Amino acid sequence: MNNFDITIIGSGPGGYVAAIRCAQLGMKTAIIEKYNTLGGTCLNVGCIPSKTLLDSSEHFHNATHNFTEHGIDVKDVKANIEQMIIRKNKVVSQTCDGIKFLMDKNNIEVFNGIGSIVDKNSVKVTDKDNKETVLNTKNILLATGSKPNFFPGMEPDKDRIITSTEALNMKEIPKKMIVIGGGVIGLELGSVFARLGTKIEVVEFANTIIPTMDKTMSKELTKVLKKEGFKFHLQHKVQQVTNTGKGVKLTALNKKDEEVTLEGDYCLVAVGRKPFTTGLGLENVGLVPNNKGQIDVNDNLQTAVPNIYAIGDVVRGPMLAHKAEEEGVFVAELLAGQKPHLNYDLIPGVVYTWPEVASVGKTEDELISEGKEINIGSFPIKALGRARASMDIMGTIKVIADKETDEVLGVHMIAPRAADLIMEAVVAMEFRASAEDIARICHPHPTYSEGIKEAALAATSDRALHI
Ligand code: FAD
Ligand code: NAD
């Protein structure tokens, strides 16, 4: 009975999307998830809950900072963290239930328990009562995702020294929170609490925040977040974080190697995530994770065992839900004999602060270090009528084009709704558009998207219209 064309271990955006596509293509599909709900990190403790709290806290921020200017008088506005978490949990459970519905609709068999490889054609599921079920399978897809990372001296105790998972379930609004890591999680969750009134101090190892993004974005986002009350300790090496019972104490070395001590109510450790393969039985088929903990795969996302594939956070590449999803579809279509294509150069990245930061393609520094001759066009958000209407005047849009061919090589923006705006650039770049192509497209007025047209005009021949 338990014979499958494909058995997928892990039901995050990689695993569940792969399952749907496999089923659509006629494969008898099984998916194994160790937690009670489907959806993985993204739906349960990642993308969805963080964006839900970001939206709630943004409403609070607007009510306390911007409503009066808009002519809306509200008194005694209070943040109710308990209700925010209740709403967040509702959104998460509706979204996870939606995945269960999609599994049923597509006749995908869901097994709850820990999946481990027995041999290349069988996978064992061990449920919470230790009952074992063996699935016979032609192919195996590993989509086991990742877990929060940490370094010696900053081990999370899940009480005062917390990871994103605990930060998404806070019972109180801290007075002060120390955040280790000025990357995506640190700045998104830091924003949630800063808007609710928490003093946020970020301790970052690099000399900028969001160090992998275009340097203009780091600079602009630093300005925005400082205005929100963030304090940054850049080029600091964390030595030790201690739970003092009522709070935390952190010691770090600054760039002059002097010891710095910070105190707060909580410390959020957000220094990246590590691939998760514990208990997966890789050793039973001779697979060994690489020195980053990832499962090595070739261009077809195939491991060293030809019928075992791996996708998402557990393999190389950006740890993003949409990247995991595309890889899931890729493997399904490949198994069905199709010729799928995935352009890793054009996976957009977003930081959901406000304004949002979004980017696609290469950064200015990457292009310079490759020796490319480039034109850069920038346009400030404050010059847009739409931005003045909404009072969202911070930010800038930057289009980088090849000096000779005018092909767009990178688009980076910090702008209201940048997460959605960036798709214009992704589409244009997928079709290898020039800056002039974007500049000649009629953009609706008044919108934030006019900023992309203006930045493209500036890049193609320095002829932005409204500046
Ligand atoms: P996961 O989503 O991690 O899913 C893996 C699943 O496998 C888990 O459910 C796990 O329980 C299960 N599993 C593991 N081992 C076994 C086993 N042996 N047996 C059975 N089940 C197993 N990305 C974005 O693109 N946009 C965002 O806005 C965003 N926000 C984020 C916010 C936070 C706070 C965090 C932590 C992450 C965020 N991410 C975001 C990253 C995103 O969540 C991940 O890139 C994505 O979830 C990876 O998908 P995946 O399918 O590879 O793995
Ligand atoms: P990250 O890689 O984005 O940021 C980690 C930050 O910690 C970096 O700035 C790094 O320089 C810093 N750091 C590393 N070691 C340090 C140390 N010892 N002391 C101080 N700073 C240190 O990782 P993250 O923010 O933890 O997020 C994990 C993953 O989840 C990311 O890959 C990200 O793509 C994904 N995610 C995505 C989104 C989104 O798409 N909006 C949101 C949240 C998480």
The CATH number assigned to the domain holding 449 equals 3.30.390.30
The amino acid present at 253, given as its one-letter code, is L
Q: Is 59 a catalytic residue?
A: no
Spacing, Cα 15 to ligand 1 middle (Å): 9
Whether residues 114 and 8 fall in one domain: yes
Whether 420 is covered by a domain: the verdict is: yes
DSSP letter at 406 equals: -
For residues 263 and 280, give the distance between their C-alpha atoms in angstroms, rounded to a whole number.
39
* Nearest CA residue ID for atom 40, ligand 2: 350
Q: Both 186 and 249 in a single domain?
A: yes
Query: Which CATH number covers residue 239?
Result: 3.50.50.60
Nearest CA to ligand 2 atom 3: 183
- Token reading at 93: 């459970």
* Contact yes or no for 464/405 (Cβ under 8 A): no
- Whether 27 and 144 share a structural domain: yes
Joined tokens for residue 418: 């940048």
Distance of alpha carbon 146 from its chain centroid, rounded?
12
User: 271, 304, 330 — which closes off a domain?
Assistant: 271
CB neighbour class for 25 (10 Å; exposed up to 12, middle 13-18, buried from 19): middle
Bond prior to 380 in cis (omega within 30° of 0): no
On whether residue 281 sits in a domain, the answer given is yes
In whole angstroms, what is the distance from residue 112 CA to residue 268 CA? 31
9 lines ligand 1 (CB under 6 A): yes
Digits of tens for pLDDT over the chain (467 positions)?
799 999 999 999 999 999 999 999 999 999 999 999 999 999 999 999 999 999 999 999 999 999 999 999 999 999 999 999 999 999 999 999 999 999 999 999 999 999 999 999 999 999 999 999 999 999 999 999 999 999 999 999 999 999 999 999 999 999 999 999 999 999 999 999 999 999 999 999 999 999 999 999 999 999 999 999 999 999 999 999 999 999 999 999 999 999 999 999 999 999 999 999 999 999 999 999 999 999 999 999 999 999 999 999 999 999 999 999 999 999 999 999 999 999 999 999 999 999 999 999 999 999 999 999 999 999 999 999 999 999 999 999 999 999 999 999 999 999 999 999 999 999 999 999 999 999 999 999 999 999 999 999 999 989 999 99
User: 153 lies in a domain?
Assistant: no
Q: Per the domain annotation, does 195 fall within a domain?
A: yes
- Tell me whether residue 107 is in a domain: yes
Give Cα 197 distance to the centre of its chain. Answer: 24
Pairing of strands 356-361, 408-415: antiparallel
Whole-angstrom Cα distance, residue 421 to residue 315? 28
Distance CA 56, CA 79 (A): 9
| Cβ-Cβ contacts under 8 Å for 461 (sequence gap 6 or more) | 436
| Burial classification of residue 82, based on how many CB atoms lie within 10 Å of its CB (0-12 exposed, 13-18 middle, 19 or more buried) | exposed
What pLDDT is attached to residue 425?
98
Q: Do residues 45 and 102 both lie within one domain?
A: yes
Ligand 1 centre from 274 Cα, in Å?
Answer: 11
Same domain, 171 and 228: yes
Beta-carbon contacts of 48 under 8 Å, excluding residues fewer than 6 positions away, are: 39, 42, 91, 92, 95
> Looking at ligand 2, which atom is closest to the CA of residue 203?
20
Looking at the structure, tell me whether residues 311 and 333 fall in a common domain: yes
Asked if 67 and 54 sit in the same domain, the reply is yes
- Provide the β-strand partners of residue 141: 8, 309
Residue 447: which of 420, 410, 411, 408 has the closest Cα? 420
Q: Which domain holds residue 292?
A: 3-148+274-344
102 and 171: one domain?
no
- CA-closest candidate to residue 29, choices 87, 105, 89: 105
Ligand nearest to the CA of 241: 2
* pLDDT recorded at residue 1: 76
Cβ neighbours of 16 (radius 10 Å): 30
- Do 372 and 224 sit in the same domain of this protein? no
Burial (0-12, 13-18, 19+ Cβ within 10 Å), 447: middle
Answer whether residue 369 is part of any domain.
yes
- 69, containing H or E segment: helix 67-70
Instruction: Single out the catalytic residue among 65, 70, 445, 466.
Output: 445
Residue that is last in its domain, among 294, 321, 344: 344
- Pairing between strand 29-33 and 109-112? parallel
Ligand found nearest the CA of 31: 1
Distances (CA, A) of 160 to 127, 148, 241, 319: 32, 16, 10, 26
Domain count of the chain? 3
254 and 302 housed in the same domain: no
DSSP label at residue 146? E
- Contact status, residue 416 vs residue 353, Cβ threshold 8 Å: no
Q: How far is the CA of 271 from the centre of ligand 2 (A)?
A: 5
Atom of ligand 1 nearest to the CA of 189: 34
- The answer to whether 168 and 50 are in contact (CB under 8 A) is yes
Among protein residues, the one with the nearest Cα to ligand 1's atom 47 is 42
Q: How far is the CA of 321 from the centre of ligand 1 (A)?
A: 7
48, 184, 350: residue to mutate for ligand 2 pocket, most atoms within 8 A of CB: 184
Computed on alpha carbons and rounded to an integer, the radius of gyration of the chain in Å comes to: 24
- Quick one: three-class SS letters along 418-462? HHHHHHHHHHHHHCCCEHHHHHCCCCCCCCCCHHHHHHHHHHHHC
Distance CA 25, CA 336 (A): 7
Q: Is residue 253 part of a domain?
A: yes
> Whole-angstrom Cα distance, residue 351 to residue 358?
6
Residue nearest to atom 32 of ligand 1 (CA): 46
Q: Is the peptide bond before 446 cis (omega within 30 degrees of 0)?
A: yes
Q: How many CB atoms lie within 10 A of CB 67?
A: 13
88 and 237 both lie in a single domain: no
Residue 309 lies in a domain: yes
Q: Are residues 143 and 282 in the same domain?
A: yes
